[in-house]
Amino acid sequence: MTGIEYDDFLDLEYEPAETDLVCAFRIDPAADMTMDEAASRVASESSNGTWAALHVDEDELTDLGAVACEIDGDAVTVAYPDALFEPGSMPQILSCIAGNIMGMKAVDTIRLEDCHWPESIVSGFPGPQFGPSVAHEKLDAGDRPVLATVPKPKVGLSTDAHVRVGEEAWRGGVDLLKDDENLTDQDFNPFEDRLADSLAARDRVEDDVGERKDYLVNVTGETNEMLERVDLVAEHGGGFVMVDVITCGWSAVQSVRDRAEKHDLAIHAHRAMHAAFDRLPHHGVSMRVLAQISRLCGVDHIHTGTAGLGKLENEDTPGINEWLTAELYGLEPVLPVASGGLHPGVVDQLLEALGTDIIVQAGGGIHGHPDGTHAGAKALRQSVEASMADVSLEAYADDHEELATALEKWGAETPR
């Protein structure tokens, strides 16, 4: 017989094996707990332990205990044996490393900050199909950032109005029209009508301007419904789908990834609701980890913030983007999306902070242009041209009137 107790899961001498999933937590122990006790309980509850001491016949047990192996201030490292995890199941992994422990009384707060994923786990996931290659495989963006826009108001526009706004933006110079996160299949703008009419408009614009354009149509919904929508996108000749990955859940994202591959569709991941997990600095799951999960599950693009230049709270956008594009056992990289309060006047700073292998997405920063959507799209494209040529936005605006008007309106302000 062997005993398993809460306190057995701490071993500060343990060196994680190459095959371990190693997680970095930040922990604030409950008032009546030492850090050692709290860390050991976290490792226990997230692997094979529980509150009561257990007595199990060794012959009938695979030892799947995690080890709290490093404590440095409030930073706690826990190593998990890879045999604890079901290959290719993100829900199962998260039920371990971000499950019951998030609510344990033994900790006042706990945040999963980072994961080091071993090859044995990574190889169970497909990763992206396209990633940054969409810029030349599906679009004609070349070396510049891919440009996208989301019509505003985000919901309420009729199908005709939505398509008209999209067409003007494409003609003005953006590559991708994107639905907003809460526009799916409502009476005022039904999914299939919007899909068909937008892609017909896309074809017209492509013929006229000689650049490939595409549409990130929001297929978010109940999983089976969502898969039908993915099929519809393929039937109508679209190249991309958009999914609200957090609200849909990772299991559904995995299903969409599978179906998207059958149709060669790229997946644009919107992260609405991420802040419920990652906004509090001491509790939850960091955006870095949510982005890692997204890459494993196989989205091609994901929103990672604006390096502080937009309207929303940000974590470490450059660090997250670096992870998304770094080597990971041959998995394709993800193309990061900067979005939320962007406009032409901050594009130079944005590219300076994040480089040019990104999608620059602007809604209000295009449709709020004093001369309308077409001029707003031109202004965004001009700001990218200026930044890529290392010319100041002000100088470029001398003979680019749309950019000049945008700079007059917004300057280089960071909206709130």
Sign of the C-alpha dihedral, residues 135, 140, 146, 149? Answer: negative
Angle, helices 287-297 vs 317-325, to 10°: value is 20
Q: Answer yes or no whether residue 345 interacts with ligand RUB by CB under 6 A.
A: no
Active site (annotated) includes residue 378 = no
Number of residues that bind ligand RUB (CB under 6 A): 17
Q: Which amino acid is at 138?
A: K
- Pick the binder of ligand RUB from 363, 377, 379, 407 (CB under 6 A): 363
Q: Which stretch binds ligand RUB (CB under 6 A): 82-90, 202-210, 293-301, 358-366?
A: 358-366
- Pick the binder of ligand RUB from 82, 181, 278, 357 (CB under 6 A): 181
Consult the annotation and say whether 340 binds a ligand: yes
Strands across the sheet with 107-116, in order?
67-72, 75-80, 21-29, 107-116, 284-285
Q: Answer yes or no whether residue 244 interacts with Mg ion by CB under 5 A.
A: no
- Pick the binder of Mg ion from 180, 244, 332, 357 (CB under 5 A): 180
Sign of the C-alpha dihedral, residues 155, 157, 168, 203? Answer: positive
Task: State whether residue 211 is helix, strand or coil.
Answer: coil
- Do 47 and 64 touch, CB atoms closer than 8 A? yes
CB of 168 to Mg ion, least distance (A): 19
CA of residue 43 relative to chain centroid, distance: 27
Q: Answer yes or no whether residue 332 interacts with Mg ion by CB under 5 A.
A: no
Q: Answer yes or no whether residue 268 interacts with ligand RUB by CB under 6 A.
A: no
Active site (annotated) includes residue 152 = yes
CB of 147 to Mg ion, least distance (A): 16
Consult the annotation and say whether 257 binds a ligand: no
| Binds 303: which of Mg ion, ligand RUB, none (CB < 5-8 Å by kind) | ligand RUB
Consult the annotation and say whether 363 binds a ligand: yes
**Run of H or E including 384:** helix 373-388
Q: Answer yes or no whether residue 179 interacts with Mg ion by CB under 5 A.
A: no
Q: Which stretch binds ligand RUB (CB under 6 A): 74-82, 191-199, 327-335, 339-347?
A: 339-347
Residues 25-64: x/- map of binding to ligand RUB (CB under 6 A)? ----------------------------------------
Annotated catalytic residue, options 138, 162, 270, 274: 270
Q: Which residues of 33-67 are buried (b: 16+ CB within 10 A; e: fewer)?
A: bebebbbbbbbbbbbbbeeeeeeeeeeeeeeebbb
Query: Nearer to ligand RUB by C-beta: 223 or 314?
Result: 314
Strands 75-80 and 67-72, bridge-based pairing: antiparallel
Q: How far apart are CA 207 and CA 170, in angstroms?
A: 12
Tell me the two tokens of residue 383: 């700001």
Consult the annotation and say whether 65 binds a ligand: no
Q: Answer yes or no whether residue 311 interacts with ligand RUB by CB under 6 A.
A: yes
Query: Nearer to ligand RUB by C-beta: 69 or 320?
Result: 320
Q: Answer yes or no whether residue 244 interacts with ligand RUB by CB under 6 A.
A: no
| Binds 45: which of Mg ion, ligand RUB, none (CB < 5-8 Å by kind) | none
Tell me the two tokens of residue 176: 């991708």
| Binds 307: which of ligand RUB, Mg ion, none (CB < 5-8 Å by kind) | none
Tell me the two tokens of residue 144: 């510049």
Q: Answer yes or no whether residue 353 interacts with ligand RUB by CB under 6 A.
A: no
Q: Answer yes or no whether residue 305 interacts with ligand RUB by CB under 6 A.
A: yes
- Pick the binder of ligand RUB from 127, 132, 238, 340 (CB under 6 A): 340
Strand positions, DSSP E, 88-239? 107-116, 146-149, 176-178, 214-218
Q: Which stretch binds ligand RUB (CB under 6 A): 80-88, 96-104, 191-199, 335-343?
A: 335-343
Q: Answer yes or no whether residue 365 interacts with ligand RUB by CB under 6 A.
A: yes
How many Cβ atoms from other residues are within 10 Å of residue 327's Cβ?
7
**Alpha helices per DSSP H over 64-190:** 90-97, 119-122, 134-137, 159-172
Q: How far apart are CA 95 and CA 105, in angstroms?
A: 17
CB of 100 to Mg ion, least distance (A): 33
- CA proximity to 165, closest of 364, 310, 306: 364
Task: State whether residue 259 is helix, strand or coil.
Answer: helix
CB of 149 to Mg ion, least distance (A): 11
Active site amino acids = 152, 270
Q: Which residues bind ligand RUB (CB under 6 A)?
A: 150, 152, 180-181, 271, 303, 305, 311-312, 339-342, 362-365
Question: Which spans of this chain sit near Mg ion (rule: CB under 5 A)?
Answer: 180-181
